[in-house]
């Protein structure tokens, strides 16, 4: 059978299997085994455990459970609330301080935890009730946190970027750096929209500052500085050439656990077990998908599907930007239904040859892809962050949360367009710090 037709058949079968409700990792193994049996014979199944094991046999993968423990430790403490309080007190003179503080706290917490739902939950628990108490419209209060939470997968350290790095064999250090300025750009766009929407809501008092004494400002610092110190230390170790991302993540995980236990007084063994249990659950889920996606990728390449698609795209006389638009639409749609990690692992082996053949930088593409995945986090029908917010503020309807989030989706699309026009926003920092990619 023509590999291209076979590719289409694999695509249809994958969609059918995944939409049946089977878990993503198992679904990928089912499709892989099915096609290998039919087109390559039963003997090819012998290789499945070997490929599964081989895909996990990498020191770089270690950074995934480590960063998850790091984020889990931070998320289990009052760190989110403390960070929020600190920013609110210190940004008191900034117009619209509260919503700005919320977005800033989301960005910082995202940098510490690397998780979007955790960021939403940690900052939202304090931020949303406070914003509503002061009269901010429900849509802005919830939308800003839902969107701010998505920064967790873009601002380093980001598990999504690690997974992309592993799937495409791209430097994780470069990917982390590439996410910094686009992350700040998104924060700025979110802030501009939030201020405009607040100003438009008619209550000008919301934009005025609230005064805090220096004592109030200073007292909140000891509670947030340890975590910020760890993050700065981790980033220094990574880029100062001290250790690899996995090694720094391990130290970061141990330090964050220690801070959670000793500074935040998390002495209860059951609570520590809960952190480990939740981290294990998330890590195993992601690592299982990575290994299964490795088998899926092997099936695609052993049936010459990946190579044929890349060659076919190469022969098409399509403008690279039209191609990029098609890829973006595909990613947004995939992001509506699947979590970022699953989309990256399934799409990367097919999309990367297409992207590089069309002359796009894989590091830049990682950022565009991640912003697409961020859109999925606040768009129906999945919109994980929308449900997290709904859990925090159950009296606000999902419709209001969604309506409040939509302008932030527009901000993300603007960011993607800006990244297409000015790719240096993503590529400048990695090149400045680590030199040009070879």
Partner 1 sequence: MASNAPLTPALKKSDNVFVRTIQIISTAAGWCSALMILTAVLLTCQMIFIRFVLNGSTVWQTEIVVFLVIAATLIGLPFVQMQKGHVNVDLIPLMLSGTVRFGLAIFTLTLSISITCIMLYYGYDYWHFAYVRGWTTDTVTAVPLWIPYLALPVGFGLLLLQLIADLVALISKSEAPFGLEAL
Which positions touch partner 1 (CB under 8 A)? 17-27, 29-30, 33, 45-46, 48-50, 52-53, 56-59, 61-62, 65-66, 69, 117-118, 121, 242-243, 246-247, 250-251, 253-254, 273-274, 276-285, 287-289, 291, 337-339, 342, 381-382, 384, 388
Give the DSSP per-residue string, 377-392.
Answer: HTSTTT-HHHHHHHHH
What's the closest the beta carbon of residue 121 comes to partner 1, in angstroms? 7
Alpha-carbon Rg for the chain, nearest whole angstrom, is 22
Which of 29/401 has CB closer to partner 1? 29
Q: How many CB atoms lie within 10 A of CB 237?
A: 18
What's the closest the beta carbon of residue 182 comes to partner 1, in angstroms? 24
Q: How many CB atoms lie within 10 A of CB 153?
A: 26
What's the closest the beta carbon of residue 286 comes to partner 1, in angstroms? 9
- For residues 375 and 335, is the Cβ–Cβ distance under 8 A? yes
Which of 69/146 has CB closer to partner 1? 69
The helix-helix angle for 3-19 and 269-302 (nearest 10°) equals 150
Residue with tokens 């998330």: 282
Using alpha carbons, select from 107, 147, 124, 83 the residue that is nearest to residue 394: 124
Which of 57/395 has CB closer to partner 1? 57
Which of 98/346 has CB closer to partner 1? 346
Which of 75/358 has CB closer to partner 1? 75
Report CA-CA distances (Å) from 290 to 124, 287, 348, 389: 31, 5, 11, 28
What's the closest the beta carbon of residue 30 comes to partner 1, in angstroms? 5
Question: How far is the C-alpha of 120 from the C-alpha of 241, rounded, in Å?
Answer: 32
Q: How many CB atoms lie within 10 A of CB 20?
A: 9
Residue with tokens 């100003």: 199
Which of 104/226 has CB closer to partner 1? 226
What's the closest the beta carbon of residue 18 comes to partner 1, in angstroms? 5
What's the closest the beta carbon of residue 16 comes to partner 1, in angstroms? 10
């Amino acid at each position: 059978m023509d590999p291209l037709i076979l590719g289409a058949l694999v695509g249809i079968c994958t969609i059918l299997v995944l939409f049946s409700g089977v878990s993503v990792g198992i679904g990928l193994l089912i499709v892989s085994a099915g096609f290998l049996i039919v087109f390559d014979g039963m003997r090819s199944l012998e290789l499945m455990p070997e490929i599964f094991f081989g895909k996990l046999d990498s020191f770089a993968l270690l950074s995934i459970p480590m960063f998850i423990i790091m984020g889990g430790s931070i998320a289990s403490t009052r760190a989110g609330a403390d960070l929020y309080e600190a920013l609110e007190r210190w940004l008191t003179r900034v117009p619209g301080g509260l919503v700005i503080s919320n977005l800033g706290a989301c960005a910082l917490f995202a940098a510490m935890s690397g998780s979007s739902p955790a960021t939403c939950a940690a900052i939202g628990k304090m931020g949303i009730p406070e914003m509503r108490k002061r009269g901010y419209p429900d849509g802005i209060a919830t939308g800003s946190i839902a969107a701010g939470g998505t920064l967790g997968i873009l601002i380093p350290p980001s598990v999504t970027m690690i997974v992309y790095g592993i799937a495409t064999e791209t430097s994780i250090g470069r990917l982390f750096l590439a996410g910094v300025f686009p992350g700040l750009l998104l924060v700025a766009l979110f802030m501009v929209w939030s201020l405009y929407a607040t100003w438009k809501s008619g209550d000008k008092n919301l934009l005025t500052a609230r005064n805090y004494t220096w004592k109030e400002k200073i007292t909140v610092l000891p509670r947030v500085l340890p975590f910020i110190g760890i993050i700065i230390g981790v980033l220094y170790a990574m880029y100062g050439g001290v250790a690899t991302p996995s090694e720094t993540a391990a130290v970061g995980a141990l330090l964050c656990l220690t801070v959670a236990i000793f500074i935040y007084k998390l002495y209860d063994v059951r609570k520590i077990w809960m952190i480990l249990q939740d981290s294990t659950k998330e890590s195993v889920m992601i690592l299982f998908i990575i290994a299964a996606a490795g088998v899926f990728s092997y099936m695609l390449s052993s049936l010459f599907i990946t190579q044929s698609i890349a060659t076919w795209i190469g022969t098409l006389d399509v403008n690279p930007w039209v191609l990029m638009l098609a890829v973006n639409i595909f990613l947004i749609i995939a992001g509506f239904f699947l979590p970022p990690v699953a989309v990256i692992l399934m799409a990367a082996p097919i999309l990367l040859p297409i992207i590089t053949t069309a002359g796009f930088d894989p590091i830049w593409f990682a950022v565009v892809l991640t912003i697409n995945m961020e859109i999925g986090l606040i768009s129906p029908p999945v919109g994980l962050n929308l449900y997290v917010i709904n859990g925090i503020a159950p009296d606000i309807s999902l419709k209001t949360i969604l309506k409040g989030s939509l302008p932030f989706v527009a901000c993300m699309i603007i960011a993607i367009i800006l990244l297409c026009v000015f790719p240096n926003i993503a590529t400048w920092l990695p090149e400045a710090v680590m030199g040009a990619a070879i």
